[in-house]
């Protein structure tokens, strides 16, 4: 397995000029002692702070990259409050979180919206990695619907990419990162067990295998949902978990760096 681990900090709607400065400087200081070449690390602040965080990262941006939490699928124009792929490119963004369950729920994002966003990123830029978030609710898990929900969310995107003729392009498609984030585990302190998380990640990999064995071997499938320093090691030891999307714990530099250091082992 030659997949590089992927670790993304999702700050969500948190931060201030002052708090961001303290957090980034503290992360940088602690990272300097333990950086690994086998982990792709991304910090995703709110858009309004991208410039500030970019400047704070400075030359460390080579190993701590900058990401965004959302993007419009439109190229430009009369879309009040939206941000385009081209605008994010101005800030050297390396990744964009797409289809997070909070956006699906609070902004009514549909599977089609999400598919269009993934396509825009893959198609309008040669480097940016879209992080597709999928996950089931507690009710769905308890009624045995997890695999159906996940399959539906993943396939809707893959079918759209097929329609747009990029699904067969390995070079483009290997930029896709998929984050399995069970909704019941996000921000609740209730983490999926390592076995539960690996089972779904494995299931996603098998869905991709049906398209291309080579692609399924390259695509990073990460886990998100109450990842902390005390569960990261167990989760990362699983064969189909290639990293994490971290919310709450990414706002604490020491905790976040500990998660990173577990991935170095
Ligand atoms: P959490 O959030 O780590 O606070 O559970 C994860 C996410 O929503 O990406």
Per-residue pLDDT tens over the stretch 74-133: 999 999 999 999 999 999 999 999 999 999 999 999 999 999 999 999 999 899 999 999
* DSSP 3-state of 180: strand
* Predicted confidence (pLDDT) per residue in 40-77, tens digit: 999 999 999 999 999 999 888 888 999 999 999 999 99
Structure tokens at 50: 């991208």
- Nearest residue (by CA) to ligand 1, atom 2, is 247
Query: Is the CB of 135 within 6 Å of ligand 1?
Result: no
Alpha-carbon distance of 242 to 132, in angstroms, equals 14
Distance 100 CA to ligand 1 centre (A): 10
In DSSP notation, 28-50 reads HHHHTTT--TTEEEEEE--GGGH
Residue 165's pLDDT is what?
96
Looking at the chain, the whole-number percentage of residues with pLDDT higher than 70 is: 100
Residue 1's pLDDT is what?
59
Alpha-carbon distance of 149 to 182, in angstroms, equals 11
Annotated active-site positions, please? Answer: 100, 181
Other residues' Cβ atoms within 10 Å of the Cβ of residue 71: 25
- Candidates 92, 135, 88; CA nearest to 111 is 135
Query: Is the CB of 222 within 6 Å of ligand 1?
Result: no
pTM: 0.96
* DSSP 3-state of 5: strand
């Amino acid at each position: 397995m030659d997949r590089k681990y992927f670790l993304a900090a999702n700050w969500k709607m948190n931060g201030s000029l002052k708090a961001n400065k303290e957090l980034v400087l503290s992360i940088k200081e602690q990272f300097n002692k333990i950086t690994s070449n086998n982990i792709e690390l991304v910090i995703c602040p709110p858009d309004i702070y991208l410039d500030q965080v970019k400047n704070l990262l400075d030359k460390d941006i080579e190993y701590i990259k900058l990401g965004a939490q959302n993007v419009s699928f439109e190229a430009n124009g009369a879309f009040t409050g939206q941000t385009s792929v081209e605008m994010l490119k101005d800030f050297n963004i390396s990744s964009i979180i797409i289809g997070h369950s909070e956006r699906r729920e609070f902004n009514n994002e549909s599977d089609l919206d999400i598919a269009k966003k993934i396509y825009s990123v893959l198609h309008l830029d040669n480097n940016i990695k879209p992080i597709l978030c999928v996950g089931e609710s507690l009710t769905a898990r308890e009624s045995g619907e997890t695999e159906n929900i996940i399959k539906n969310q993943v396939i809707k995107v893959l079918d759209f990419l097929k329609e747009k003729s990029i699904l067969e392009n390995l070079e483009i498609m290997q930029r896709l990162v998929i984050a399995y984030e069970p909704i019941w585990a996000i921000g609740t302190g209730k983490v999926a067990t390592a076995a539960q998380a690996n089972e779904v990640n494995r299931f996603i990999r098998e869905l991709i295998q049906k398209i291309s064995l080579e692609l399924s071997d390259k695509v990073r499938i990460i886990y998100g949902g109450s990842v902390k320093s005390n569960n990261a090691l167990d989760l990362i030891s699983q064969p189909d978990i290639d990293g994490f999307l971290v919310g709450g714990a990414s706002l604490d530099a020491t905790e976040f760096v500990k998660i990173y250091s577990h991935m170095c082992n």
